[in-house]
Chain A
Amino acid sequence: MSTAVTHKKGFGAFLWDYITTVDHKKIAHLYLIAGGLFFLIGGLEAMLIRIQLIKPANDFVSAGFYNEILTMHGTTMIFLAAMPIIFGLMNAVVPLQIGARDVAFPFLNSLGFWLFLFGGLLLNASWFLGGAPDAGWTAYAPLSTTSPGHGVDFYILGLQISGAGTLMGGINFLVTIINMRAPGMTYMRMPLFTWTIFVTSVLILFAFPALTVGLFLLMFDRMFGSGFFDPTMGGNSVIWEHLFWIFGHPEVYILILPVFGVFSEVMSTFAKKRLFGYTAMVFATVLIGFLGFMVWAHHMFTVGLGPAANSIFAVATMAIAVPTGIKIFNWLLTLWGGNITVNSAMLWSLGFLPTFTIGGTTGVMLAAAAADYQYHDSYFVVAHFHYVIVGGVVFGIFAALHYWWPKMFGKILNEKLGKLTFWLFFIGFHLTFFIQHFLGLMGMPRRYWVFLPDQGLDTGNLISTIGAFFMAAGTIVFLINVISTSVKKQEVAGDPWDGRTLEWSIPSPPEHYNFKQLPLVRGLDPLWVEKTEGRKEMTPAEPLGDIHMPNNSILPFVMSLGFFIAGFGFIYQVDDLSWLTAVFVGMGIALGAMFVRSVKDDLGYHIHKEDLEKGAK
């Protein structure tokens, strides 16, 4: 066991370091890069969709291809872009916010990332291997069970593999937050971002198994001739809708709750005030999480569940507006009386408030079942969920990136470019989606490859497409910002924003062991507490001592690669049984790696006290 970290040089060593890393801060980088790339791919698909719909009866893309880009846009954005970027943020921030040296299961953390990445690669490989899935990101049976080619098979296996990774991440963070908080950090002293990640992890724990089960049944229907969703064999396709939405509705809260946490951090930091109604915010978060599980059938008002079921789900859905409203007003009151700095991170937060209010209110409108008979599956719904997912989740991701970039990389993103990004994106966003509420009620169903001329839909669609170009421009400016910032030399101190929570009490970027000594937490916003008492840093809760660290490992990468190979085997064994070899080889690699992991003692290593002291000022 080595004592000090050896610094190898060269790109190969650098790559090896990232492939084998179990450090949550490096895994955060991996999530951000991979999620960012998928975000660009999903954005490209979105642009193709909007270009196709720029004018009536357009023939820019073919009908079949349109359904593929539509399906992949939704699937990519939800599973491969928004989720991983949020996982990146929680990896980067949560252990620091709770004053922990690591996550509970570093190995599992790395495995979760590689499973996500290989699942995403498998899904996108479908583009080059005969066609992507085309049954919508909701993959309703029997369209999904009867869809020709292998597109939907890639969907099933890609999501199954990356879903397993997500589930692991959720469990990991649940345990981390429960077990590894610094001394003195009681639950009611946890920063709100950590709280939202905590609730999110619980949602992942309960929602993803429903997806796993659903995908297995779908896989058996498609690959092995079972008939779970096939009415001609006594199956029932509506069951898929239930399974999908029992997962799918909590999923949208898995996305939105973390950014609620982000906004809470950003707003209180830049208003220089503690979060207004902290306790209420915590309870609202928990309540939203709980109700999120009770309302899935509001996606199914037109399925024919009957008026009683529709009414119950309608009222339950409306109930979610109460805790959401509490949050909005608490944010406003956090800003009220503050000393507000408007920088890029704050701009995204300020842009979020009115945008999300619109998205939330259209949510309540959708919940009115008999009115939803008109909205459902129309562009009104497209407008609604983009108002919450883009106006909420994506705005939140941008806010978080600008806010925590210095902590993650030691550099501050350029403010001018940051503001330009915001304005382009914000204006483009409203241009694109506001008008879609009306398009929906004017008779434009969702997932339409073409709309016909002279139906009053031309102008609205044109405006919508113009808006999309603004958003694309905003994204490009952001990329320029990221690149130009990374080549610059400037370095920032640990606490560039005059922050309030623990992550700002250590250098940027943090040492790989995070905290030399675990901090003693004496209240909400612990760093702020110390600052108000005239100190500059946290009081340690322990004397300086050896720090135990986990070893890097290539095994997570190998295991995921094994599942990836087996995935191809499962998909193609339908055509030719010799593909079963790939199943055996892939599973062999994965199980072999698991075996190695089980029998090989890996005790990690210690950073000795003397080495820590050497580094100390």
Chain B
Amino acid sequence: MKGWMGKFRALFLFSSLLLVLSGCGKENLTAFVPEGYGAEVSLNLIIISLAVMIFVILVVMIVYTMVLVKFRKKKGQEDFIPKQTEGNKALEVIWTVIPIILLIIIAVPTVTATFDLADDSKAKDSININVTGNQYWWHFSYNKEEIQTSQDLYIPTDTRVYLNLKSSDVIHSFWVPSISGKMDANPENENTMYIEAYEEGVYWGKCAELCGPSHSLMDFKVIAVSPEEYEQWVQDMKNVDPEAQPETASAQEGQKLFQENSCIGCHAIGSSPAAVGPNLTNFGDRTRVAGVLDHDKETIVNWLLNPDELKPGNKMAGNYPKLSEEEASKIADYLLQLQPSEITPESAGNE
């Protein structure tokens, strides 16, 4: 008996200790530290339901422990035949009614929160962004502003931003745990949700619905900046001249190669809503290549030479002529200098 409970307690202590050690996860990824409205509503509900459920678990564990302590077979009692109780009406009623009450305590805030998070009455007067999930990258098209980005979604803080989610291929799911819960991007309809970030920062987003081999590499970032900076960023993005000449010779050659090698067939620079591949307008400002890889020249060259190795199953592989390492390096120089704005993930105060 002692041994049993002892082991259980040790296990419990061990796991709580580990939690303390590992903290609550990375602060711009975890749902435990909400930095936005949706995440806060969800967390409140999580806490309410968790509290009720811990109560239930405690009651069960107390009765359970008492049973094990008191009613195990004792020496000399091997032949003892206990009373064959049939049941107890009063008890049955108690453990039917109390759970119902407990569930009402959870159900009421659940329904309220569910309707709250689906409220789109303010959508018209707010920023609307069409979000398209693709194998394995995200496209963001700002409705009124008529600008596009990929992988990095810029939003102003303390503002409800409405997202109209859709998929261009299989089902994906848009999830930025520290700002909001998730919503699926289906191929046949548009789902709307809103997000609101409280603090400036770079928040990590993930695709949460299995979408193929590189499902786990379909990361994106939400970059929350102050409303003024956001305005500035929008202006900078609008003013981009896709044809502008880069400064260095290598980048100029890269630009030519970019156009000759049918890169431009899939990747727009400047506004082009119907791109097949990620929009590269502000590629130089990104924190990651392809959502997950280090943003440096070497990685970009590797990516251009063999995208399938870095992101298995992606739709870029094999759709452009083979590049030499030198060509790739020039294209990388060109891409890295695509930095239309001072408002970047770095300026938002995070990597």
A341 to B31, CA, bound (A): 44
A364 to B81, CA, bound (A): 38
Q: Is the CB of B73 within 8 A of A341?
A: yes
Verify B22–A311 contact, CB threshold 8 A. no
Which secondary structure dominates chain A's binding surface?
helix
Residues of B within 8 A of A146 (CB): 169-170
Interface residues of A in 308-329 (CB under 8 A from B): 310-311, 314-315, 318-319, 321-322, 325-326, 328-329
Q: What chain A residues lie within 8 Å of B32 (beta carbons)?
A: 441-442
Q: Is the CB of A368 within 8 A of B49?
A: yes
A434 surroundings in chain B (CB, below 8 A): 15
Tally B residues with Cβ within 8 Å of A.
101
Query: Distance in Å from the Cβ of A139 to the closest Cβ of chain B?
Result: 10
Interchain CB contact under 8 A, B117 and A373: yes
**Chain A stretch 408-462: residues in CB contact (< 8 A) with chain B:** 423, 427, 430-431, 434-435, 438, 441-443, 445-452, 454-457, 459-460
- Are the C-beta atoms of A304 and B85 separated by less than 8 Å? no
A588 within 8 Å of B (CB atoms): no
Of the candidates A307, A374, A460, which one forms a contact with B114 in the assembled complex, judged by CB atoms under 8 Å apart?
A: A307
Shortest CB-to-CB span from B22 to chain A, Å, is: 5
Measured CB to CB, the closest approach of chain A to B67, in angstroms, equals: 5
Contact A326 B95 (CB under 8 A): yes
Evaluate contact between A311 and B213: CB separation under 8 angstroms.
no
Please state if A307 and B99 are interface contacts (CB–CB under 8 Å). no
Chain B residues lying within 8 Å of A353, measured Cβ to Cβ, are 60, 64
CB distance from B167 to the nearest CB of A (A): 9
Indicate if B92 sits at the interface (CB-CB under 8 A). yes
B103 contact from A273, A280, A319, Cβ within 8 A: A319
Contacts of B124 in A (CB 8 A): none
Q: Is the CB of A378 within 8 A of B71?
A: no
> Please, which residues of chain A bring their CB within 8 A of the CB of B191?
303-304
Interface positions, chain B 152-187, Cβ under 8 Å from A, are 169-171, 173, 175, 177-178, 180-184, 186-187
Interchain nearest-CB distance for A594 vs B (Å):
39
B21 at the interface (CB under 8 A from A): yes
B67–A430 touching, CB < 8 Å? no
Which listed residue (B29, B72, B312) contacts A340, Cβ 8 A?
Answer: B72
> Given that A430-B11, A447-B215, A454-B26 are contacting pairs, would A374 and B39 also be in contact in the complex, using a CB cutoff of 8 Å?
yes
Indicate which residue in A278, A329, A452 contacts B91 across the interface (CB closer than 8 Å). Answer: A329
B49 near A364 (CB under 8 angstroms)? yes
A205 in contact (CB, < 8 A): no
Q: Which of chain B's residues have a CB closer than 8 A to the CB of A318?
A: 103, 106-107
- Contact assessment for A377 and B173 in the assembled complex, using a CB-CB cutoff below 8 Å: yes
Q: Out of B31, B38, B43, B109, which one reaches A442, CB within 8 Å?
A: B31
Which residues of A sit under 8 angstroms from B86, Cβ to Cβ? Answer: 274, 276, 278
User: Within the complex, what minimum Cβ distance (angstroms) separates A339 from chain B?
Assistant: 5
Determine if B25 and A443 form an interchain contact, defined as CB atoms under 8 angstroms apart.
Answer: yes
A369 touches B114 (CB 8 A): yes
A520 within 8 A of B: no
Known contacts A307-B115, A326-B95; A371 and B49 CB within 8 A of each other = yes
Residues of A at the B interface (CB closer than 8 Å) are: 62-64, 66-67, 134-136, 140, 142-143, 146, 231-232, 235-238, 271-274, 276-280, 302-304, 306-307, 310-311, 314-315, 318-319, 321-322, 325-326, 328-330, 332-333, 335-342, 350, 353-354, 357-358, 361-362, 364-365, 367-374, 376-378, 423, 427, 430-431, 434-435, 438, 441-443, 445-452, 454-457, 459-460, 463
| Known A235-B188, A307-B115, A314-B114; further 4 A-B contacts with Cβ < 8 A | A67-B215, A315-B107, A368-B110, A441-B177
Q: Which 4 residue pairs across A and B have the least CB separation, nearest first?
A: A373-B181, A442-B25, A304-B191, A370-B113
User: Can you name 18 A-B pairs with beta carbons within 8 Å?
Assistant: A67-B215, A143-B170, A277-B88, A315-B110, A318-B107, A325-B95, A328-B60, A333-B85, A338-B71, A364-B103, A368-B109, A371-B42, A372-B181, A431-B11, A435-B18, A452-B219, A455-B25, A456-B22
